[in-house]
Amino acid sequence: MRKISLTGIKPTGSLHIGNYFGAIKPALELTKEYDARYFIADYHALNTMKDPKELNATIRHVAAGWLAAGLDPEKVIFYRQSAIPEIFELTAMLMAFTAKGLMNRAHAYKAAVQENGEKGDDTDAGINMGLYTYPVLMAADIIIFDSDVVPVGKDQVQHIEMAQDIAQSVNANYGKQVLKIPQPAVQEDFAVVPGMDGRKMSKSYGNTIPLFAPEKTLQKTIMRIVTNSQSVEEPKNPDESQIFQLYKLFTQSGEQDAFAKRYRAGGMGWGDAKEELFRVVNRELSPIRERYDAIMADIPALDKILEQGAERARPIAAATVKRFRKAAGID
Ligand code: ADP
Ligand code: TRP
C-alpha cells in the first residue's frame, strides 16, 4: 500500500510565491510517490476572516491555485475541510486528550499574547477559542486520513509535533495504535522564501509577491524589492541579496552561476538584477496564471471537483472516527 501525504492551505488571502514553493510545489512533487489528500482549510480561516464575501472568494482562489499549479483531482483527493463533518467530530474527541498547557506553547497563540502585551492590551484581547485550539483542529485534519507525511513550511513543524503528541496520548491511553503518528516533510532547500524586504514572505508582513498577479503588476512588485545602496559599479555578493535567493527558486544551476557572476563582476545595478528576476519569474508563472484564469471563469465546475473530492474523503474519515469511538467505548 502506498503511504499517505496530506496538507492543507488556509484560505486567508492571496496566494504568494512563499506558498507556492513552501507548500504547493513540494506537496505536488510528493503525489508521484504517495497517495495524496490535499485540502482547503476553510474552518481554520474562519478564525480570522469574518467577511463572508471575502472568505467565499478566497476559498475559490486557493482551490483554483492548487489546480492551476498542477494538482490532478483524479489522482489527489482534493476537498474543502468544511465538507467533512467527521473532522469536527474527531476534533471534539482529541480535545479530551490535549493538555491545555500544550496549547499555551503554540507559536501563533504565544505571538498573539506577546503582541497584546507589547501594546499594553489585555493578554487575551482579540484571541478567540478557534485560534487557541487551532492545533487540535489541525491534528484532526491530519490524523483523520491516517497521514504518514505532512509537507509544510518550517513554521508549521510545531503543529505537526503537537499532532504527534496528541495522537500518542490517545494510543498510550488505549495501549494500542488507534491513530497513526504523522511526520512533517520540510523541503530544506526552500524552506523559507524571503519576501520583498528580506524577511520571510508572509501575508502578515505585507511583503509578498503574488502568484497570480497580472504580468504588469508582477513586474511592478518585483521592481519594488528592497535593496541596499550599492552603486552600479560595485561588485555585489549574491548570497546577501534576496533577489538572488528568489532567482534560485526559478532557475537551475546554469542560469544561477551566470547571474552570480554578474553580481560579483560589478557593473550590474539593482534595476537590472530585478529585470532579470522578473524574466525568470514570469517565465514560470505565465502558464500557471493562464490556467488559473480559465478555472476561475467556471466556478460551478470548480465546486464540483471539490464536492467529488469530499465524497471520496468522507468514508475514509468516517472509518477513523469509528475506530477511535470503538477504542473509547463510545460504539
Ligand atoms: P502566510 O505566512 O502568508 O500567512 P500561510 O501561513 O497561509 O502564509 O502559509 C500557507 C503555507 O505556505 C504553509 O504551509 C506555510 O508553511 C507555507 N509558507 C508561507 N510562507 C512561506 C515562505 N515565505 N516560505 C516557505 N513557505 C511558506
Ligand atoms: N496551519 C496550516 C497553515 O497555516 C494550514 C493547515 C491546516 C494544515 N490544517 C492542516 C497544514 C493540516 C497541514 C496539515 O499553513
Of the candidates 19, 30, 42, the residue with the CA atom closest to the CA atom of residue 71: 30
pLDDT band at 68 (very low <50, low <70, confident <90, very high): very high
- Mutating to test ligand 2, I would choose from 4, 9, 43, 149 the residue with most ligand atoms within 8 A of its C-beta, which is 9
What cell was used for 206? 505585507
Q: What is the DSSP letter of 176?
A: S
What cell was used for 164? 504527534
Does 6 have pLDDT greater than 80?
yes
231-290: pLDDT as tens digits = 999 999 999 999 999 999 999 999 999 999 999 999 999 999 999 999 999 999 999 999
Residue 325 is predicted with a pLDDT of 98
Cα(264) to centroid(ligand 2), Å: 40
Q: CB of 10 closer than 6 A to ligand 2?
A: yes
Residue 189 is predicted with a pLDDT of 65
69-122: pLDDT as tens digits = 999 999 999 999 999 999 999 999 999 999 999 999 999 999 999 999 999 999
Q: What is the DSSP string of 40-97?
A: E-HHHHTTT---HHHHHHHHHHHHHHHHHTT--TTTSEEEEGGG-HHHHHHHHHHHTT
pLDDT band at 13 (very low <50, low <70, confident <90, very high): very high
Average pLDDT, the chain: 95
Percent of the chain with pLDDT over 90: 94
Does 197 have pLDDT greater than 80?
yes
What does pTM read for this prediction?
0.93
Question: Is-catalytic flag, 119?
Answer: yes
